[in-house]
């Protein structure tokens, strides 16, 4: 079903109107330094269009996974500063989410002004399972933009979440897909409609419980499924191997065993691992075979033999989707696996394959390792969101825009 877009809203006219924009500013941080501004840069076309049209722009976004209460570690202050630079105008940061400061600032906006609300996940109603609670937060957001307000959904990375600022608020305001959401859907549709085979998906990262379910639906659709990163250890454990103190989803070992039985010919796991004695940049490390992870050590990267094998299986692919770094690339000692996988995918792009990298940290990995964006056909802002889209799942934040 077609959805209304930003272009439709601009044609209706937004001058002097309050427009609530949901962006995904969940950017990787080193302290308060943004290590990859990709998601901020991707939000600029929508924001600039609204500013130029004279809207009073109020942005809501999340950062990390705070526990439903204010936590300075997860403040959007670094984002407000970077956004001000990129937009060339002052972006005010409200001191709260929908409280008295946000309300006062919203009331003081003039045409073309931009207000960023503090991390929406500081309010427990945002991620509540209780619809009435989410709705009450959505209503408070609506109050900020006023009766003739509109909602623009532009945080593609979060459209798989049924949350107040993504889903419930769209039911209360005239709603439109922003430029980023529209562009992402257009590219990802190429991976679902008529995908060129062989089709490979490369998974890694740390959101293991979130993404194991994805494998169940993707495995029958792909020709190759390469698994590295924190994701790999539950599979290694399912093969009966000891994984030391590596990231492990114990309650999913049975699921992984079943997946290996059914899709063993498609799934490729690391055969060697770089293990560390602690989760630190300067940890002691050694490379061991996957079946020889010592007790008390944790796997923080895939080893060189795994990179070689993964490179070989990916080399013939015509389509590749990659989400989740193969190791803790933020620490130089554990970045080689991710670099190797990135280079293998880049080589297939050069050979004419259609390649997509998705996810906040995956895109950051590519950039911090120094690979140009042009090494990939598309760098998506969505990790979990892209994966669920590829699975063919209904994404609440997209579905609600159809109504
Ligand atoms: N073996 C490992 N153990 C622990 N953490 C790991 C391991 N391998 C990778 N990681 C971490 O995974 C994190 C990224 O995982 P994540 O699943 O969030 O990916 P993403 O690309 O950001 O996707 P999304 O957009 O869905 O969040 C990185 O910070 C990286 O350090
Ligand atoms: O980084 C992401 O994938 C999105 O910002 C969603 O974050 P979440 O997984 O914490 O909901």
The 10 Å CB-count burial string (b at 16+, else e) for 92-110 is bbbebbbeebbeebbeebe
Residue 200's DSSP bridge partners are 224, 320
Residues with CB under 6 A from ligand 2: 24, 26, 65, 157-158, 161, 360, 383-384
pTM of this prediction? 0.92
Verify whether residue 207 is a known catalytic residue: yes
Strands ordered across the beta sheet of 298-302: 285-289, 272-276, 298-302
Q: Name the region of 357 (left: φ>0; alpha: ψ -120 to 50; beta: rest).
A: beta
- At residue 356, φ and ψ (nearest 5 deg) are -130, 130
Residue 94 Cα to ligand 2 middle (Å): 22
Q: What ligand has the least distance to the C-alpha of 335?
A: 1
Q: Which atom of ligand 2 is nearest to the CA of 157?
A: 4
Q: Which atom of ligand 2 is nearest to the CA of 26?
A: 5
Any atom of ligand 1 within 6 Å of the Cβ of 360: yes
Any atom of ligand 1 within 6 Å of the Cβ of 223: no
How far apart, in whole angstroms, are the C-alpha atoms of residue 205 and residue 200? 17
For residue 169, what pLDDT is reported?
98
The 10 Å CB-count burial string (b at 16+, else e) for 237-263 is bbeebebbbbbbbeebbebbbebeeeb
Any atom of ligand 1 within 6 Å of the Cβ of 299: yes
Any atom of ligand 1 within 6 Å of the Cβ of 157: yes
Residue 358 Cα to ligand 2 middle (Å): 12
How far apart, in whole angstroms, are the C-alpha atoms of residue 236 and residue 234? 6
Residue 157 Cα to ligand 2 middle (Å): 6
Q: Strand 150-153 and strand 114-116: pairing? A: unpaired
pLDDT tens over the chain, length 403 residues: 589 999 999 999 999 999 999 999 999 999 999 999 999 999 999 999 999 999 999 999 999 999 999 999 999 999 999 999 999 999 999 999 999 999 999 999 999 999 999 999 999 999 999 999 999 999 999 999 998 999 999 999 999 999 999 999 999 999 999 999 999 999 999 888 789 999 999 999 998 888 888 898 899 999 999 999 999 999 999 999 999 999 999 999 999 999 999 999 999 999 999 999 999 999 999 999 999 999 999 999 999 999 999 999 999 999 999 999 999 999 999 999 999 999 999 999 999 999 999 998 999 999 999 999 999 999 999 999 999 999 889 999 999 999 7
Any atom of ligand 1 within 6 Å of the Cβ of 383: yes
- Catalytic, out of 18, 22, 38, 39: 39
Compute, in degrees rounded to 10, the torsion defined by CA atoms 45, 171, 217, 66.
70
Which of 67, 68, 161 has the most ligand 2 atoms within 8 A of CB, as the residue to mutate?
161
How far apart, in whole angstroms, are the C-alpha atoms of residue 358 and residue 320? 11
For residue 236, what pLDDT is reported?
98
Which of 158, 230, 288, 364 has the most ligand 1 atoms within 8 A of CB, as the residue to mutate?
230
Verify whether residue 308 is a known catalytic residue: no
Q: Point out the annotated binding site for substrate.
A: 24-26, 39, 62-65, 121, 161
| Residue whose C-alpha is closest to residue 152's, from 47, 27, 41, 11 | 47
The tokens for 348 are: 């297939």
The tokens for 19 are: 């427009």
For residue 214, what pLDDT is reported?
87
Verify whether residue 384 is a known catalytic residue: yes
- At residue 295, φ and ψ (nearest 5 deg) are -55, 140
- Catalytic, out of 17, 82, 105, 207: 207
Verify whether residue 68 is a known catalytic residue: no
Q: Which atom of ligand 2 is nearest to the CA of 384?
A: 3
Nearest CA to ligand 2 atom 6: 158
| Residue whose C-alpha is closest to residue 268's, from 239, 295, 297 | 239
For residue 1, what pLDDT is reported?
59
Nearest CA to ligand 1 atom 19: 324
- Catalytic, out of 360, 382, 383, 397: 360
């Amino acid at each position: 079903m077609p959805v209304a877009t930003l272009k439709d809203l601009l044609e209706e006219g937004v001058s002097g109107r309050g427009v609530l924009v949901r962006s995904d500013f969940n950017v990787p941080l080193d302290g308060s330094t943004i290590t990859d501004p990709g998601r901020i840069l991707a939000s600029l076309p929508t924001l600039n269009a609204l500013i130029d049209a004279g809207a009073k722009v109020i942005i809501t976004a999340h950062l990390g996974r705070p526990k439903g209460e204010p936590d300075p570690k997860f403040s959007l202050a670094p984002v407000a500063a970077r956004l001000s630079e990129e937009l060339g105008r002052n972006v005010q940061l409200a001191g709260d989410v929908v409280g008295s400061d946000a309300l006062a600032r919203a009331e003081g906006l003039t045409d073309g002004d931009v207000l960023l609300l503090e991390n929406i996940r500081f309010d427990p109603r945002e991620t509540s399972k209780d619809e009435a609670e989410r709705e009450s937060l959505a209503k408070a957001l609506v109050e900020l933009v006023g009766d003739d307000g509109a909602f623009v959904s532009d945080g593609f990375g979060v459209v798989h979440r049924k949350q107040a600022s993504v889903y419930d608020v769209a039911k209360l305001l005239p709603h439109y897909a922003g430029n980023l959401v529209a562009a992402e859907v257009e590219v990802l549709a190429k991976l679902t409609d008529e995908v060129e085979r062989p089709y490979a998906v490369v998974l890694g990262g740390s959101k293991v419980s979130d993404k194991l379910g994805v494998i169940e639906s993707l495995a029958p659709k792909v020709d190759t499924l390469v698994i590295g990163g924190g994701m790999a250890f539950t599979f290694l454990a399912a093969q009966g191997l000891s994984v030391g103190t590596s990231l492990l989803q114990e309650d999913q070992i049975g699921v992984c065993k079943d997946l290996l039985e059914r899709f063993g010919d498609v799934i490729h796991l690391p055969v060697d691992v770089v293990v560390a004695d602690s989760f630190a940049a300067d940890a002691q490390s050694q490379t061991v075979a996957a079946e020889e992870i010592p007790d008390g050590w944790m796997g923080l990267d895939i080893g060189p033999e795994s990179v070689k094998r993964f490179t070989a299986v990916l080399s013939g692919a015509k389509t590749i989707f990659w989400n989740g770094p193969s190791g803790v690339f933020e620490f130089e000692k554990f970045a080689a696996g991710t670099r190797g996988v990135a280079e293998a995918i880049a080589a297939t792009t050069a050979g004419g394959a259609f390649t997509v990298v998705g996810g906040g940290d995956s895109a950051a990995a590519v950039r911090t390792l120094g690979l140009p964006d042009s090494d990939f056909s598309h760098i998506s802002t969505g990790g979990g969101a892209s994966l669920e889209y590829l699975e063919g799942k209904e994404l609440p934040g997209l579905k609600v825009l159809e109504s």
